[in-house]
């Protein structure tokens, strides 16, 4: 099948299978080959995203169930569309809507589903941090009772072990405590989760529990429905969520590949750091954050970036680079959001030390683990899988860096030796859990904390990107092209997703700052005047997101709402658990005044930035559709897509507006026409894009794709050369030219 492009759609919140059916003519008319769906398996009631699966054996009835999905499949096939399905093997919802978990709560380790979930039963009863107050306090208030073999506390109905309840009725403190202690679980106040949880979480989300997908029986049980859909030709591709959370990602992907029809490709959500390559797994490639990073760097003008850097540093007083921000954030998160994971690691290390006869107390282990995890430079290693030499070097180098920050390097050396050996049950358990925690830590520290503190240039503060390196290094683009063509020619090229911090066109507007830095300086100077109570670094963040959304519908409210999240994610002056609402309100007032001033004056410099941003959006799209790989279009991205992080980027598209784009003459319509032109080109010349060589020239800033005598060039600037002009556009300052030469 030709891999022309995928079109990603978020489900739920009013979007079900029939909704998509009603939009298939529009989607197919773009020229895409694949419909790319968010998770469809039964999720928690009211779920807004579907990643909190409660029953992996059924398709969610709220979306239309199996019948509705089969109807969607038939309608998609009639229009030549294949379906890629997003699946979530790493975790399920940790709550009473998950039937398998309910069975575990009732029967404990004897439950047939106890092995399904990643629970540390050696640490004691399963901790349920669901209460507002300690159970005895609630019992004293008469808020604890038994009804039909369930303990009722407020809205909670927790199943009791068979035979443990002695009838229905309200329980006093003594009776509640006795019944509680007879269970295989313990109810706790939610504030105690960092000190008590006994299950593996997804990142720091206690409401999601890890699944032991490495167990072949659990794999079969959780994947039966998905595999049936694939074998019945109801889906034609899979996207695997958060593969780095699994015990053995490579083993899982090999098992999945063997179970799937050969014709069904697999893409994985895998975040790569600079210089890291995908492992040799049986996949079509990643979901494309690496491509988004390369493209964003190509949109950035070097001299202008230098001026923006100076402007930000003079205003903020910040002198350092991004890396120290990440290290500081890692240490903070290990004492806060991931304190429970650190506590679990200390317990596993104590077991391994006892088995080894190694003397190390909990505080020595805490110090060593904290610094080792802080020093580890990427999402995870893969001990026992391919690339053992790479992993050994990663951990040994991390040990050297970590040793600079501890009293004694002996404990660090011992931990690394245990990780690399993994030759006993205890050391293997420690190694596996460390590998799972490194990914959660870097995600929370890099993307969700430091990325909201180091506010120099938000076009580089993105998932999988490196804020400290907003420009391509020498040879980096060609290396990316060579890697793609040699190993993953059908990987996805991502522009936006439900997880990106800013959508493709919002990033392009911010990238425009580097093409007109003096216009930025003038706007910034006026914006900053008279506001001495607010920190310039945070105001520079607000300034950039205001630019990204200016003149958009509901921009004032959307930007103001986003700033609350940005301040809390930054965790410097406001927090999700302890918000500083006064400071948040001051930031919101500031950005509302800024946007109102821009609305009233419409400064020439601002209009120029918007024009340049629109031209860069077209350049971004041209690159995304011509680089090796399959371009991915996020819902609504056929027009200008100006969005911030969730929930802003999960709003349903304005389908009526999108349907009008072919007839318009605004930037959205120009983007639409470029997209359809490029996808028609991809359909007409599939070998050029699937198998054609890819060359980048730093001097001419030109991408060349060549297959036989067919040559396509994409020039970032005015272009000379041969071939017919397929498209030329942008602005007076930012031109992009696409030319095609075919055999006579």
Write down the mean pLDDT value for the chain: 96
Helix (H, G, I), strand (E, B) or coil at 67: helix
The arithmetic mean of pLDDT across residues 68-93, rounded, is 98
What pLDDT, on the 0 to 100 scale, is given for residue 386?
A: 60
Contact present, 379 and 439 (Cβ < 8 Å) = yes
What pLDDT, on the 0 to 100 scale, is given for residue 290?
A: 98
pLDDT tens digits, 513-535: 999 999 999 999 999 886 678 99
Report how far residue 552's alpha carbon sits from residue 721's, in angstroms, rounded to the nearest whole number. Answer: 39
Six token digits for residue 161: 């072990």
Which stretches within 464-511 are classed as H helix?
Answer: 476-487, 504-511
- Whole-angstrom CA distances from 651 to 9, 190, 643 are 11, 30, 9
- 586, pLDDT greater than 80: yes
What pLDDT, on the 0 to 100 scale, is given for residue 721?
A: 67
Q: Which of 53-62, 620-629, 712-721 has the lowest mean pLDDT?
A: 712-721
Contact present, 285 and 492 (Cβ < 8 Å) = yes
pLDDT tens digits, 117-136: 999 999 999 999 999 999 99
pTM: 0.96
The residue behind tokens 């425009």 is: 512
- 636, pLDDT greater than 80: yes
**Domains recognised in the chain with CATH numbers:** 6-90+213-269 (3.20.20.80), 99-207 (3.30.1590.10), 328-445 (no CATH), 690-741 (no CATH)
Return all residues near 292 (Cβ < 8 A) that are at least 6 apart. 462, 464, 465, 493, 494, 495, 500, 504
pLDDT tens digits, 270-312: 999 999 999 999 999 999 999 999 999 999 999 999 999 999 9
Short-list 721, 714, 711, CA closest to 736: 714
pLDDT tens digits, 646-659: 999 999 999 999 99
Alpha-carbon torsion (682, 684, 689, 695), positive or negative: negative
Confidence of residue 407 (pLDDT cuts 50, 70, 90): confident
Share of the chain above pLDDT 70, in %: 99
Q: Which of 67-76, 363-372, 418-427, 689-698 has the lowest mean pLDDT?
A: 418-427
* Phi/psi of residue 399, nearest 5 degrees: -65, -40
Short-list 203, 210, 212, CA closest to 251: 212
pLDDT tens digits, 665-679: 999 999 999 999 999
Short-list 292, 227, 243, CA closest to 56: 227
Axis-axis angle for helices 339-356, 425-442 (nearest 10): 160
**How is the beta sheet containing 724-730 ordered, strand by strand?**
693-697, 702-707, 710-715, 735-741, 724-730
Six token digits for residue 276: 């890291």
Report how far residue 667's alpha carbon sits from residue 656's, in angstroms, rounded to the nearest whole number. Answer: 17
Six token digits for residue 489: 């020619």
Short-list 606, 244, 572, CA closest to 434: 244
pLDDT tens digits, 131-183: 999 999 999 999 999 999 999 999 999 999 999 988 899 999 999 999 999 99
HEC readout, 201-248: EECCEEEEEEECCCCHHHHHHHHHHHHHHHHCCCCCEEEECCHHHCCC
- 392, pLDDT greater than 80: yes
């Amino acid at each position: 099948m030709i891999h022309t492009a995928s079109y990603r759609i978020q489900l739920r919140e009013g979007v079900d299978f029939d909704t998509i059916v009603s939009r298939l003519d529009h989607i197919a008319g773009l020229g895409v080959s694949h419909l790319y769906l968010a998770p469809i398996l039964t999720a928690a009631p009211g779920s807004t995203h579907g990643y909190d699966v409660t029953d992996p054996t059924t398709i969610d009835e709220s979306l239309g169930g199996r019948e509705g999905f089969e109807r969607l499949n038939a309608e998609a096939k009639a229009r030549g569309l294949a379906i890629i399905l997003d699946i979530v093997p790493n975790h399920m919802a940790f709550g009473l809507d998950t039937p398998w978990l309910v069975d575990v709560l009732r029967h404990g380790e004897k439950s047939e589903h106890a092995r399904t979930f990643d629970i540390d039963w050696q640490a004691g009863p399963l901790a349920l941090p669901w209460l507002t107050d300690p159970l005895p306090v609630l019992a004293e208030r008469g808020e604890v009772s038994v009804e039909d073999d369930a303990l009722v506390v407020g809205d909670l109905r927790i199943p009791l072990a068979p035979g443990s309840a002695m009838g229905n009725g309200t329980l006093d403190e003594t009776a509640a405590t006795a019944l509680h202690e007879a269970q295989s679980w313990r109810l706790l106040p939610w504030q105690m989760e960092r000190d008590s949880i006994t299950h593996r979480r997804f990142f720091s989300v206690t409401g999601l529990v890890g699944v032991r997908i490495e167990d072949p029986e659990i794999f079969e049980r959780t994947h039966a429905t998905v595999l049936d859909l694939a074998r019945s030709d109801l889906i034609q591709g899979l996207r695997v969520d958060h593969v780095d959370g699994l015990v053995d990602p490579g083993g899982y992907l090999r098992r999945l590949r063997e179970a799937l029809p050969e014709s069904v490709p697999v893409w994985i959500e895998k975040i790569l750091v600079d210089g890291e390559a995908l492992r040799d797994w049986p996949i079509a490639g990643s979901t494309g954050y690496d491509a988004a990073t390369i493209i964003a760097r190509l949109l950035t003008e070097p001299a202008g970036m230098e001026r923006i850097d100076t402007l930000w540093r003079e205003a903020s007083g910040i002198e350092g680079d991004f890396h120290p921000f990440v290290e500081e954030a890692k240490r903070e998160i290990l004492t806060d959001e991931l304190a429970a994971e650190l506590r679990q690691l200390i317990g596993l290390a104590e077991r391994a030390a006892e088995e080894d006869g190694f003397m190390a107390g909990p505080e020595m282990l805490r110090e060593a683990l904290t610094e080792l995890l802080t020093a580890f430079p990427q999402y995870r290693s893969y001990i026992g899988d391919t690339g053992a030499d790479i992993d050994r070097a990663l951990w040994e180098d991390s040990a050297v860096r970590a040793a600079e920050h501890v009293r004694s390097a002996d404990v660090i050396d011992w931990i690394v030796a245990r990780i690399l050996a993994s030759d006993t049950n205890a050391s293997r358990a420690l190694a596996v859990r460390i590998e799972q925690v490194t990914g959660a830590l870097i995600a929370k520290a890099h993307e969700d904390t430091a990325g909201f503190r180091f506010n120099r240039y938000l076009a580089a503060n993105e998932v999988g990107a490196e804020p400290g390196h907003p420009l391509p290094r020498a040879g980096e683009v060609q290396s990316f092209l060579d890697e793609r063509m040699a190993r993953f020619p059908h990987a996805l090229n991502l522009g936006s997703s439900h997880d990106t911090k800013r959508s493709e066109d919002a990033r392009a507007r911010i990238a425009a700052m580097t093409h007109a830095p003096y216009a930025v300086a003038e706007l910034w100077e006026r914006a900053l005047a008279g506001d001495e109570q607010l920190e310039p670094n945070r105001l520079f963040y607000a300034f950039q997101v205001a630019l990204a959304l200016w003149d958009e519908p509901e921009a004032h409210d959307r930007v103001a709402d986003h700033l609350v999240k940005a301040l809390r994610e930054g965790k410097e002056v406001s927090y999700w658990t302890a918000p500083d609402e006064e400071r948040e309100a001051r930031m919101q007032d500031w950005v509302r005044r800024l946007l109102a001033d821009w609305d009233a004056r419409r400064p020439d410099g601002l209009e120029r930035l918007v024009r340049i941003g629109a031209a860069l959006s077209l350049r971004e799209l041209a690159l995304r559709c011509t680089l090796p790989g399959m371009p991915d279009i996020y819902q609504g991205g056929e027009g200008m897509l100006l969005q911030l992080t969730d929930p802003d980027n999960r709003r349903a598209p304005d389908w009526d507006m999108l349907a009008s784009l072919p007839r318009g003459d605004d930037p959205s319509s120009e983007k639409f026409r470029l997209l359809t032109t490029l996808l028609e080109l991809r359909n007409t010349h599939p070998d050029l894009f699937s198998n054609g060589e890819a060359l980048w020239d730093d001097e001419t800033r030109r991408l060349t794709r060549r297959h036989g005598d067919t040559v396509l060039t994409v020039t970032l600037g005015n272009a000379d050369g041969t071939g017919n002009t397929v498209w030329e556009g942008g602005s007076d300052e930012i031109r992009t030219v696409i030319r095609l030469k075919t055999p006579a």
